[in-house]
A and B are shown apart, each in its own frame.
Chain A
Amino acid sequence: MTGHLIFENVTRRFGSFTAVSDVTLEIQKGECFSLLGPSGCGKTTLLRMAAGFEKPDSGRILLNGKDITALPPDKRPVNTVFQNYALFPHLTVRQNIAFGPKIAKWSKAETGREVDRMLNLVDLTAHADKKPAQLSGGQKQRVAIARALVNKPEVLLLDEPLAALDLKLRQRLLVELDAIHDEVGITFIYVTHDQGEAMSFSDRIAVMNKGKIVQTGPPAEIYETPRSSFVAAFIGDTNFIDGKIIEGTGQAFSRCEVEGLGIISVDNDQPVKTGDKVYLSLRPEKILLSSLKPSAAPLENIISGKVEDVIYFGSHTRYWVRCGDWRICAEVQHRNFLLDEKPPTWNDEVWLRWHANDAFLLDQYREEDEALLTLPETP
């Protein structure tokens, strides 16, 4: 393998609980890589193993092709930005950042120069002599980033660095973090449970669940072509539809019978044959919702239903529509001022339309993942 940081069949158990189960992962040099998953999925344990705070029960961790599995944290060219910042309260901002260089016995001049450069990078020069308790949450987080980066690590590990901040600040820091990544150019591994952060920040994402990596890929690939119902439901929102293939229409498309909904066209994202049971993920924003019946076209699926639930989000509105035995979620973007539109409301009859390409065939479906949806159907 040629990656910068490699996990090779890594397993970590705590008592009878397997936090990380046989994970193999290759992260490239300079990549901005996210570990995304719900709490307890093992992402933080995986990160702590990269930092050296946890030792794997089996498997190896390689950095630049060198086995670092047995190295203690202080001997690894890797630094961490902790979730709760973990700034030293008895030291000033400047002393916090200079902590690593002091341990590494850099010269006074070099330490001073590098600390100043870091203060400048995170825009905290004016606060250099304050104690952590005098800083805001966002400032503390920037100190934590500077304190880690000043050591010139090969890999920067970020453990939910923005989790304690409010939404606007989170978005702004995410942009700053992205700029810092561009500037320093080192490998970033970013642990988060927030799919928005992972999508906007990373080159690649590994989605984790129950100690395993369930899918790895660039953000758009993860979002548009989720292989399992877990990925589809955890990242964004979706509709799960199951049916039976009744006939192929050429190479690329099939006809699929969905009990209680009708016959729909599907894209053959994977090879299917007549009689196969299939599970589809259909994203709400792919569905066009209208009050008037849309004109028919090949490969367009058109069904009618009645609005059951509406949630207004400002930029868009979500509708949950009862279609036969199914409850389907569709999203409508507001392009016009809401007063100019005449949006459908509760109990309105509406039409749903989507192209066969826009639903995706899942490799794996588990019913429990329905619970991850915004408004799961209550039986």
Chain B
Amino acid sequence: MNRRREWLNTAPSFLWLTVFVVLPVLVIFAIAFRPTLGGGGIGDGWSLDAIRSLWDFSYLELLSRTVWISAAVTGLCLLVSLPVAYAMARMTPVWRARVVLLVIVPFWTNFVIRVFAWQQILHAEGWLADRLRDLGILGENDRLLGNAFAVILVSVYTYLPFGILPLFAAAEKFDFGLLDAARDLGAGALRSITTVFLPGIRQGLMTAMIVIFIPMLGSYIVPDMVGGTDSQMIGNKIAQRNFGDRNLPQAAALSAALTLLVIAPMFLKRKKNEA
């Protein structure tokens, strides 16, 4: 009886996940083992060609770059989000609602258009670059656009709400009296933040980290639009295999590898928890 109810309760989400997550992922995995037919076709039968193509040292560099850019974006997002979330949690409810609105408002403009806007802002002959050159901060041949800096800056901008909102949700439930207690027991202002506030919003930090880091690993629009050759990420390579080379099995193999990379730590953690 209990088991049956459990089944019924989980059935909708199970069905949803199966149809929209598990099946597509399985399709991608399957395509990775198919031969390619050039021009975007997928041949019949099975082949390890696509998998073998992964054996390429340039991928390793691409992977490490993808990971460090994603990590930098995640770290910077958290660094900016923390004080914002803290301030929001301490505001009066009226101001809180206003600021939440301000955080969400950018979503009303299409993502690609916002990245285009950044292209204009960072353009080599744009106002900002001119001013920075006048001030001597930017060298005559340096560029704001087309490098890892631009990718990280624009990605931080894009993912900031995903840092602020979970941290704010956690901070809102935090008992700020605990900070008083820490100060009372001799901790300075910074120390009481690190010893009491951060552990107190641990769940929010975890959520923010996951919802920024994992999508970042697969990002390709931002590096494509504001990055250069030295700041391409795995996502760009997948897109290139897909749209440029029209080699779907290789694109699928690369996606599958990325998916496994993301999932593996979760399984390892689960194993450790069970042990």
Contact = CB atoms under 8 A, between A and B. Distances in A.
A30 interface: no
A84 B177 CA distance: 9
Given A53-B180, A86-B180, A151 B185 contact: yes
A80 B186 contact: no
Contact of A82 (B180, B199, B200): B180
A230 to B, nearest CB: 30
B184 A89 contact: no
Given A86-B175, A88-B178, A90-B202, A74 B183 contact: yes
Interface of A: 51-53, 72-74, 78-80, 82, 84, 86-90, 99-100, 103-104, 147-148, 151
Interface residues of B, number: 18
A282 to B, nearest CB: 43
Interface string B154-187: 0000000000000000000001011011111111
17 contacts: A51-B184, A53-B184, A73-B184, A74-B185, A84-B177, A86-B177, A86-B178, A88-B181, A88-B196, A89-B200, A90-B202, A99-B182, A99-B195, A103-B185, A147-B185, A151-B185, A151-B186
B187 A74 contact: yes
B131 interface: no
Given A79-B185, A90-B199, A151-B186, 10 more contacts: A72-B183, A74-B188, A80-B180, A80-B184, A88-B181, A88-B182, A90-B200, A99-B185, A99-B187, A103-B185
A103 B191 contact: yes
Q: Among B177, B180, B185, find the residue whose CB has the most chain A CB atoms closer than 10 A.
A: B185
A87 B178 CA distance: 7
Interface in B21-72: none
A104 B178 contact: no
Contacts of B191: 103
A53 B185 CA distance: 12
Taking chain B's interface residues, is the majority helix, strand, or loop, or is none over half, making it mixed? helix
Contacts of B186: 74, 100, 103-104, 151
B125 to A, nearest CB: 51
Contacts of A90: 199-200, 202
A89 B202 CA distance: 12
B53 to A, nearest CB: 48
Q: Among B175, B183, B195, find the residue whose CB has the most chain A CB atoms closer than 10 A.
A: B183
Interface string B207-220: 00000000000000
Nearest to A144: B181
B198 to A, nearest CB: 10
Nearest to A48: B180
A336 B191 CA distance: 63
A84 B175 CA distance: 10
B105 to A, nearest CB: 31
Contacts of A52: 183-184
Q: Among B186, B199, B200, find the residue whose CB has the most chain A CB atoms closer than 10 A.
A: B186
Q: Among A53, A72, A74, A151, find the residue whose CB has the most chain B CB atoms closer than 10 A.
A: A74
Contacts of B185: 74, 79, 99-100, 103, 147-148, 151
Contacts of A100: 185-186
The 5 closest A-B pairs by CB, nearest first: A86-B181, A100-B185, A73-B183, A90-B199, A103-B186
A103 B195 CA distance: 10
A194 B252 CA distance: 72
Given A73-B183, A89-B200, A82 B177 contact: yes
B187 A103 contact: yes
A242 B190 CA distance: 60
A60 B198 CA distance: 35
Nearest to B185: A100
A255 to B, nearest CB: 57
A373 to B, nearest CB: 35
Contacts of A78: 184
